[in-house]
Amino acid sequence: MDYIQITFHPVALYQLAAFPCAVLYCYLCSYGHLPTTLRYLYLLVGGVILASTSMGHYAILLFFPALGSTVLFHTASSHSIHRWAFLLQMAWQTVCHLWVMYRQYYLQEIMTIKLSITISSLMLLTQKITSLAMDIHEKKVTVSTKDMIKSKEKERHHLPACTVLAVLSYLLYFPALLGGPLCSFMEFQQQISNSKACDNLWRIWTVIKTCTLFFLFHTLQGILFQYLTFQYNLTDCRQWECVYVMWSTALLFRLTYYSHWMLDEALLYSAGFYIGACSHTAFTDSNIYTLETTNKISLFARTWNKSTTKWLRRLIFQNCSTQPLLSTFAFSAWWHGLYPGQIFGFVCWAVMVEADYRIHAKLGIILKSPYIRFLCKIMTWFQTQMIIAFIMLAIEMRNLTMLKALLSSYNSLFPFFYCVTLIFLMKIKP
């Protein structure tokens, strides 16, 4: 995500423009005016129009892998499809990232908004493609309706089928094209079949609540922008002043993420997307209360962007026999674009999470008094906030100049102190 802007980010404007289409889709489905095939077609055409409008000619970078992966799903063997989908899609995304870096650093071009939106949507498309490929490999879905009919296993008759229209609609459906929590293909199929809402009041209340939170966070972001020191002062600040600069800039970044998460979820809810016909279990990436109150870096990492965290855990963490934590964060840096700040930030995050597990386990054994535990919780909360701010700035600033300014400031003392604390606690015998 680019740096904070006082005005609405273009992604938010495109998301807001898609609301009438989402509400219309939900209305038509609720009253039975759209059969299943037309629902797929409506979501797919809406996605194509939204992509063409928001990305311009760069939309071809999104359409090409979507079409290619659809062909792959219907030609490759289910035993190897997850590997082919992963390699081909990550190769395509990496080429796009390197092309953008070439234009930025070698040609000295400014990255346009349309290209930025395209790269962000391409990352989301990678999530959907690899998620569906793993579902096919694990036989959670069938490749076509013919396979389901021919299958002799009774349970296979209840599995969703990957028809061409269903796959393309899943990869490009407009409520989650520019953002939003990752929805599995099975959940997507469930939404299509259960689009006749059973509790409209709950859905309307959810949309109103998430939209209100979006405007609240966005307004707060605009107010803070006017009073808090912004990122460029990080190269000019002195000593402990840099800590204030780091914290305030990271706060602005978090508010930006929170506001976009709320808008993404509101768009999905307005289209009638939630798990189950009457379950009230919503698609969500946000648990803001936990993020702002936790004193554990490991819990923050698991809670931040929850659907992406679950995807990374399934794709990398559970399939790595050696150093699964480091491999997961290293892949996350690759998936985000391999900028210098991103590589350092995600590796640092992995080290801090590993240290966090050990520190809290040791403190749980050493500390007996409830008063000391409470005081320790406050101190570790502050340390968690500072380390997360340090990591966030490293990842968001990306380039070497800002990374050097961050490392040479007093801010680097916070992760250093955490490592020293780990070494000291490991020497204490319980």
pLDDT tens, position by position, 21-34 = 999 998 888 888 88
What's the CA gap between 225 and 245, in Å, rounded? 12
Predicted local confidence at residue 161, as pLDDT: 66
The least confident of 136-145, 313-322, 344-353, 385-394 is 136-145
Q: Please state the separation of Cα 399 from the chain's center in Å.
A: 21
Look at residue 271 and tell me whether its pLDDT is greater than 60: yes
Predicted local confidence at residue 30, as pLDDT: 83
Return the top range by mean pLDDT from 28-32, 184-188, 349-353, 359-363: 349-353
Can you tell me whether residue 389 is helix, strand or coil? helix
Look at residue 280 and tell me whether its pLDDT is greater than 70: no
Please check whether residue 334 is in contact with residue 94, taking contact to mean a CB–CB distance below 8 angstroms: yes
Please check whether residue 8 is in contact with residue 218, taking contact to mean a CB–CB distance below 8 angstroms: yes
Q: Which of 276, 275, 277, 329 is nearest to 298 (CA)?
A: 329
Predicted local confidence at residue 7, as pLDDT: 45
Would you report the helix, strand and coil content of the chain in percent, each value rounded to 5? 75, 0, 25
Predicted local confidence at residue 1, as pLDDT: 40
In single-letter form, the type of residue at position 26 comes to C
Inter-CA distances, 191 with 170, 171, 197, 251, 311, Å: 11, 14, 10, 35, 20
What's the CA gap between 145 and 151, in Å, rounded? 10
Map tokens 């798990």 to a residue.
275
Percentage of the chain lying above the pLDDT 70 cut? 87
Map tokens 């998936």 to a residue.
335
Predicted local confidence at residue 20, as pLDDT: 94
Partners of 281 in the beta sheet? 275
Look at residue 2 and tell me whether its pLDDT is greater than 90: no
305 is catalytic: yes
Map tokens 């939106």 to a residue.
117
Average pLDDT, rounded, for the chain:
85
The least confident of 150-159, 171-180, 338-347 is 150-159
Q: What is the CA radius of gyration of the chain?
A: 23
Catalytic one of 233, 336, 360, 399? 336
What's the CA gap between 191 and 176, in Å, rounded? 13
The residues, any chain, with a CB within 8 Å of residue 153's CB and separated by 6 or more, are none
Look at residue 207 and tell me whether its pLDDT is greater than 70: yes
319 is catalytic: no
Please check whether residue 274 is in contact with residue 280, taking contact to mean a CB–CB distance below 8 angstroms: yes
Task: Name the band, by pLDDT with cuts 50, 70 and 90, for residue 128.
Answer: very high
Q: Which two tokens stand for residue 404?
A: 């050097």
Predicted local confidence at residue 278, as pLDDT: 44
Please check whether residue 121 is in contact with residue 55, taking contact to mean a CB–CB distance below 8 angstroms: yes
Q: Give the mean model confidence (pLDDT) for residues 406-412.
A: 90
Q: Give the mean model confidence (pLDDT) for residues 421-430.
A: 73
Answer with the residue of higher pLDDT: 293 or 161. 293
End-to-end CA distance of the chain: 45
What's the CA gap between 30 and 108, in Å, rounded? 51
Q: Which two tokens stand for residue 246?
A: 């780091």
Can you tell me whether residue 108 is helix, strand or coil? coil
Query: CA angle, corner 167, sides to 166 and 171, nearest 5?
Result: 120
Look at residue 268 and tell me whether its pLDDT is greater than 50: yes
pLDDT digits (tens, 9 = 90+) for 49-102: 999 999 999 999 999 999 999 999 988 888 899 999 999 999 999 999 999 999
Catalytic one of 74, 305, 319, 411? 305
Answer with the residue of higher pLDDT: 229 or 43. 43
What's the CA gap between 312 and 214, in Å, rounded? 26
What's the CA gap between 394 and 234, in Å, rounded? 12
Percentage of the chain lying above the pLDDT 90 cut? 50
Look up residue 142 and give its DSSP letter.
B
Predicted local confidence at residue 195, as pLDDT: 55
Predicted local confidence at residue 145, as pLDDT: 44
Four-residue CA torsion sign, 311, 316, 321, 324? negative
Please check whether residue 126 is in contact with residue 68, taking contact to mean a CB–CB distance below 8 angstroms: no
Inter-CA distances, 396 with 169, 203, 253, 299, Å: 32, 34, 8, 21
Map tokens 């296993």 to a residue.
153
The count of other CB atoms within 10 Å of the CB of residue 68 is 15
Q: Give the mean model confidence (pLDDT) for residues 202-220.
A: 85
Task: Name the band, by pLDDT with cuts 50, 70 and 90, for residue 6.
Answer: very low
CA atoms within 13 A on the CB side of 179: 28
Please check whether residue 401 is in contact with residue 366, taking contact to mean a CB–CB distance below 8 angstroms: no
